[in-house]
Structure 1
């Protein structure tokens, strides 16, 4: 539904004023801040039209109006003007890059990603979130460490040097030399492959080994595959406590429960970030409009990031729908670009 210039100007002025002070905006205030030479009566008529179209709503306690999720959508898609320099303020890109790298040339990817979440949180004063790159199932090598009788620690080293541990409970008490033999066999024949491929090849290629060794290797492959598929730590969140001071999100216990359920479970967050990783550029998810956002008063601004030209994850800021989008959008956009650069340089 198209809005004429007058309606667009008034809607923009209303959203900006509401974001600034959180109070319903009346016709008299709009006549002063819109820059339009319109009478309050004319403005009331336009507001009535906007309300009928679903862009604004009237709280029962006030004659003023507030934006709806649909009104926010029109605002961020067509009415918002952004000055990236003003949005970032005194922090230039070089300073942000230093924060990501922690002044260290040997920062691990995990540390850089954690720093990115903290940068998003500190700049926005909301919660910063980063979905980490999905872990490949490929392993570089494995080791078996005998912990006690029939308890073995499986150590999996990925191509990038990241380490995963899994506990194996076996029916046989393997000797240290047997464990070394099994690990050497797997590393020599299968190192650099994915666990799924190894599982298929094990069925045909281990017949020359004793059954109990075959059983150990099959258990290692199953545990390794599960370890690589585990996405419980695939979302890094920083600054959740900032949202406790946002009245729109923490005004009642139901909202608080939804908020912290989202942080604890991470399922809906993962789903949303996964969706945004398939898009290009900054995406804005507005509560009440997107089923992916669990709360009506919440918005999430996201952007994908890359490693060596390939999109591998998403980052963003979680805050109230009443956030300063003209400030948050450039923060997310620039941080995504700097994280891409830092990880690509780190990976080279």
Structure 2
């Protein structure tokens, strides 16, 4: 346990470093902490905090900066979460669109990025109960056909199919009518079974087109698919803390592109009761060693269906970012429950 004096000095140090980005010396700690103690006493406390792993001395500077462990103690024990200011509440008061779930999720990701100036991330729900609602084919040039798939949750997906034959609009309409008549309201597994049983009724090259459409439907209707919606990645280029290490920043953007490891990390937020914070190496992902992730689960009709969050440098204003993530999760839950 840290003494009250050590906690006040650690809190002051973290807050000053977040505000200024510069190592904090004993003179600044004396001024901002409000403690009536000597600089020698402050230095002694800093030595104790450094030995405990809460602060570090960069280079030969006389000042100190918080470590990941120091941030963790600050967030868990010393942080005073602020109420959102009016300028932050205004975009939130407009709510999120409710006409299309995918559009709602994308808007939540963009809102997080806009309000925090970091990267906004939303883990979409597992699509266990997604059904096919409508299929349409449109002819393109060079023996290509555009497949349009509309799902029961309002998602619209497009796929381009390369064909061996040229199809007229009437032939494509015939194929779409066949699938809509036999497959609407079915999951991926039922869709494949129906087409295998009924496709004999369709002649020639249209049969191949139908089978191809079913294959392309798999990633849209498969019950195991999850995805990440990420907005505002370029905001991280404006962070001095991250931009100073271009190699690490490049790894971070590769992580965004691959998504798999980040998916697993975001899934951990599904099991949290509220806001969950990963600081630095706590994520277990090397590209995020200089970052913090603040996540919160969101619900639909009382059931947790996904996680959203913010990715930014460890030197972030936690007292401001945490309520933004929390409120956005509540907004998304409300929009998806309507």
**Under TM normalisation by the shorter chain, which class is it?**
0.7 to 0.9
TM-score by length of 1: 0.82
Contact 2:132–2:221 under 8 Å retained in 1: no
- Give 1:128's aligned residue: 120
| 2:158 aligned counterpart, secondary structure | strand
Match of 1:118 among 110, 123, 126: 110
Return the alpha-carbon distance in structure 2 between the equivalents of residues 33 and 149 of structure 1: 70
1:98 aligns with 2:94: yes
Residue 330 of structure 1: how far off its partner (Å): 0.6
**5+ residue gaps in structure 1?**
none
Evaluate the alpha carbon distance shift between residue 95 and residue 151 of structure 1 in structure 2; reply closer, same or farther with a 3 A threshold: closer
Q: Normalising to structure 2: TM-score of the pair?
A: 0.84
Which deviations, in whole Å up to 9, do the C-alpha atoms of 1:257-279 show, x marking residues without a partner? 23433444444443332332332
Summarize deviations over 1:4-25 as a string: whole Å, max 9, x none: 4333232222211211212222
After TM superposition, list the pairs within 5 Å mapping 1:218-297 onto structure 2: 218-228=211-221, 234-238=228-232, 240-292=233-285, 294-297=287-290
- The alpha-carbon deviation at position 212 of structure 1 amounts to 6.0
Unmatched 5+ residue regions in structure 2?
Answer: none
Deviation at residue 29 of structure 1 after TM alignment:
3.2
User: Does the CA-based 8 Å contact 2:135-2:176 persist in structure 1?
Assistant: yes
Task: Give 2:62's aligned residue.
Answer: 63
Change (3 A) 1:15 1:257: same
Once the two structures are TM-superposed, the CA of residue 37 in structure 1 deviates from its matched residue by 4.0
Moved more, 200-209 or 281-290: 200-209
- Distance, in Å, in 2 between the alignment partners of 1:270 and 1:67 is 28
Between the aligned partners of 2:64 and 2:111, the Cα distance in structure 1 is 34
Other structure's SS at 1:322 match: coil
1:138 pairs, out of 121, 131, 147, with 131
Answer yes or no: is the 8 Å Cα contact 1:100–1:339 preserved in 2: yes
Q: Root-mean-square deviation (CA), in Å?
A: 3.2
- 2: CA distance, partners of 1:275 / 1:318: 15
